[in-house]
Amino acid sequence: MRILVTAGGTKEKIDEVRYIANHSTGRLGSIIADNFAQDDNHHVTYIHGYGAIVPENKAIQLIPIFTSQDLESAIKHELTTHTYDIVIHSMAVSDYTMDNAFSQEELLTHLKEALFNQQATIDEQTFTETLSDVLAKLGKENEDKKISSSNEHLLLRLKKTPKIIKMIKEIQPDTTLVGFKLLVDVTEDYLLSIASQLLAKNDCDYVLANDLTSIEGDQHTGYLVSPDGSLTKAHTKPEIAEMIKQTLTTK
Amino acid sequence: MRILVTAGGTKEKIDEVRYIANHSTGRLGSIIADNFAQDDNHHVTYIHGYGAIVPENKAIQLIPIFTSQDLESAIKHELTTHTYDIVIHSMAVSDYTMDNAFSQEELLTHLKEALFNQQATIDEQTFTETLSDVLAKLGKENEDKKISSSNEHLLLRLKKTPKIIKMIKEIQPDTTLVGFKLLVDVTEDYLLSIASQLLAKNDCDYVLANDLTSIEGDQHTGYLVSPDGSLTKAHTKPEIAEMIKQTLTTK
């Protein structure tokens, strides 16, 4: 079988020197990739964030990416070049990317000018329209430079990134897709209900649900949720890797 | 001589899973530390960001830190515990840390309520006071959780971090302090004038000035600026390390 694993985290550029990142190390993804690759009949490709842990097996093809946009390009390229039987999308993709940045002082100055330049008082409708307009435009002329640090408060305005996971089945409807959901300090019931919703929302065949508070080193509680409501549970990263392989290769 | 080198970058937490980082690798700082430590008469301590490159010399004491606040604690601890002859502060310290986060929709809703709940129109003064007040409070109740990604635009409001470099001579007025200034794609004249201003502003004995566009691998143009106006220039990381050691140990 041909298997695509994504792992680690994307990084979103703030300016020439700064970026937004996440704590995903890629360790679980690398173990999943190695666990498939040890069987001779599996060909594994591993798309990973820069700095993420990579699998040990040298037969695995590595594709490093930086931003969520890089990830989108890499996944589209793989799925339009090869037929993948399985896609395991464990990468922590940034939900947001930079739109524009401005200081609180700039926001105040530009809003006051836009609102009160022509009139002494303004009503709610004028205010609503002006706020959205000013927020969308502020600071866009300074893009790509290092943001000045002379102001007391800086505002970073982020916009949502496209849902890359939803593109996978659009390109290859017949692949078996495993999505991942990480929440922080929620109940098991809540975690599983969110994971079940994701099956339909992101067009996944399975969702691996986990909670950051149940992860420490190789100790890692993971639930594999499937559309028929069945559920399997594992307690370490190697167990999660084996649970995914067994479920996907013996169905 | 006892020498403190800081290197790599700090990371500032956005929420439980995300953080703001910078591209500093610590490579130059690690070479500077190794270059001092190879002489028997120097004792080197190396404070570095997590994931940064560390020196090869095993005699160097390593102190890893995550945030700018961790850095402040570590530097204060070192400077109140030992007398350092030289402090080389090459670490890229985040100028900003998280204050609060909120969606654009939340901002609009809360501002409208604060502004137009009691009156149909408002004047400039009311607006100015209300905006600052709402910006300062929004989203503070959600701190430390993973920020929801259900909104189209997210605003991160950052506040300035304290200038850690200014604390160094306050604790040890007799140490020799080297500050670093990285700019992006500026003229040599501009870079050197900013570096000269920093000597007084940050109470440094020397400033190592460099431009990101003149750095590629070990090729690295650096200017060591001193208060008497004298200037030395180096073209690689090892040359910069040697220039700093020669200047500081033979003065």
pLDDT in tens, A164-191: 999 999 999 999 999 999 988 999 999 9
pLDDT over threshold 70, residue A138: yes
> Is the confidence at residue B144, as pLDDT, over 60?
no
Only one residue has tokens 């956005």, namely B14
Hey, is the C-beta of A131 within 8 angstroms of any chain B C-beta? Answer: yes
Contact A10, A68 (CB under 8 A): yes
Any CB–CB contact under 8 A between A155 and chain B? yes
CA distance B194 to B187: 11
- Closest by alpha carbon to A111, among B130, B106, B140? B130
Q: Write out residues 53-82 of A within 8 Å (CB-CB) of B.
A: none
Residues B28-47: tens digit of each pLDDT:
999 999 999 999 899 999 99
* Residues 6+ positions from B244 with CB-CB distance below 8 Å: B32, B35, B88, B178, B206, B208, B224
Segment B149-198, tens digit of pLDDT: 778 999 999 999 999 999 999 999 999 999 999 988 999 999 999 999 99
Residue of A nearest to B151 (CA): A160
A127: chain B residues, CB-CB within 8 Å:
111-112, 115-116, 122
Which chain B residues contact residue A19 at CB under 8 A? 20-23
pLDDT at B140: 79
Answer yes or no: is pLDDT of A66 > 70. yes
In the predicted model, is pLDDT for residue A17 greater than 90? Answer: no
Which of A3-12, A13-22, A83-92 shows the lowest per-residue confidence on average (mean pLDDT)? A13-22
Q: Which residues are registered as beta bridge partners of B4?
A: B45, B87
Q: Please give the residue of chain B at the shortest CA–CA distance from A162.
A: B152
**Whether pLDDT at A37 is above 60:** yes
pLDDT for the residue B145? 62
Band (pLDDT 50/70/90 cuts) for residue A140 is confident
Q: Return the top range by mean pLDDT from A124-138, A144-158, B61-75, B205-219.
A: B61-75
Which residues of chain B have a CB within 8 Å of the CB of A135?
A: 104, 153
pLDDT at B250: 84
Q: What is the DSSP letter of B108?
A: H
Output the six-digit token pair for B155.
């605003």
Quick check: B141 pLDDT over 90? no
Choose among B135, B158, B184: nearest Cβ to A17.
B184
Residue A118 has a pLDDT of: 84
Binning pLDDT at 50, 70 and 90, where does residue B146 land? low
Which residues sit opposite B183 in a β-bridge? B211
Please provide the average confidence, as pLDDT, over all residues in chain B: 93
Query: What Cα–Cα distance (Å) separates residue B157 from each residue in A141, A155, A157, B24, B85?
Result: 20, 5, 9, 23, 39
Contact with chain A for residue B133, Cβ under 8 A: no
User: Scanning every residue of chain B, which has its alpha carbon at the shortest distance from the alpha carbon of A12?
Assistant: B20
Among A16, A20, A184, the residue with its CB nearest the CB of B145 is A184
**DSSP 8-state secondary structure symbol assigned to residue B161:** P
- Residue A193: per-residue pLDDT: 93
Work out the number of other CB atoms within 10 angstroms of the CB of residue B125: 9
Cα–Cα distance measured from residue A177 to residue A168, given in angstroms and rounded to the nearest whole number: 8
- A23-34 mean pLDDT: 95
- Per-residue pLDDT tens for A190-221? 999 999 999 989 899 999 999 989 999 889 99
Give the C-alpha separation, B39 to B149, whole Å: 53
Closest Cβ–Cβ partner in B108, B127, B132 for A115 = B127
What's the ipTM? 0.85
The rounded percent of chain A whose pLDDT value lies above 70 is 97
- Which chain B residues contact residue A122 at CB under 8 A? 121-122, 127
**Within chain A, where are the H helices?**
27-37, 68-81, 104-116, 124-137, 165-171, 188-201, 237-249
State whether residue B190 sits within 8 Å of chain A by CB.
no
* CA dist., res. B58 & res. B60, Å (int): 5
Q: How far is B7 from chain A (nearest CA, A)?
A: 15
Model confidence at A144, pLDDT cuts 50, 70, 90, reads low
Q: Which of A17, A132, A159 sits opposite B212 (nearest CB)?
A: A17
Q: Is A20 an 8 Å CB contact of chain B?
A: yes
Looking at every residue in chain A, the average pLDDT score rounds to 93
A229: pLDDT strictly greater than 70 = yes
Lowest mean pLDDT among A101-105, A247-251, B117-121, B138-142: B138-142
Query: What number of other Cβ atoms are within 10 A of residue B246's Cβ?
Result: 13
Domains of chain B: 2-95+163-249 (3.40.50.10300), 98-159 (no CATH)
Non-local (6+) Cβ contacts of B210 within 8 A are B180, B181, B182, B183, B191, B220, B221, B222, B223
Q: Two tokens at A66? A: 């930086």
Which tokens go with B99?
């204050």
**The predicted structure's pLDDT at residue A251:** 63
Judge whether B75 and B168 are in contact, CB under 8 Å.
yes
Query: Residue B3: CB partners within 8 Å, gap ≥ 6?
Result: B33, B36, B42, B43, B44, B45, B84, B85, B86, B87, B88
Average pLDDT of A47-76? 97
Q: Which one has a higher pLDDT value, A141 or A117?
A: A117
CA gyration radius for chain A? 22
CA max distance for chain B: 76
Name the residue with higher pLDDT: B6 or B250.
Answer: B6
- Is residue B106 within 8 angstroms of chain A, CB to CB? no
Q: How confident is the model at residue A146 (pLDDT cuts 50, 70, 90)?
A: low
With contacts defined as CB-CB under 8 Å, which chain A residues touch B157? Answer: 104, 153-155
CB atoms within 10 A of CB B25: 16
Asked if residues B13 and B69 have their Cβ atoms less than 8 Å apart, the reply is: no
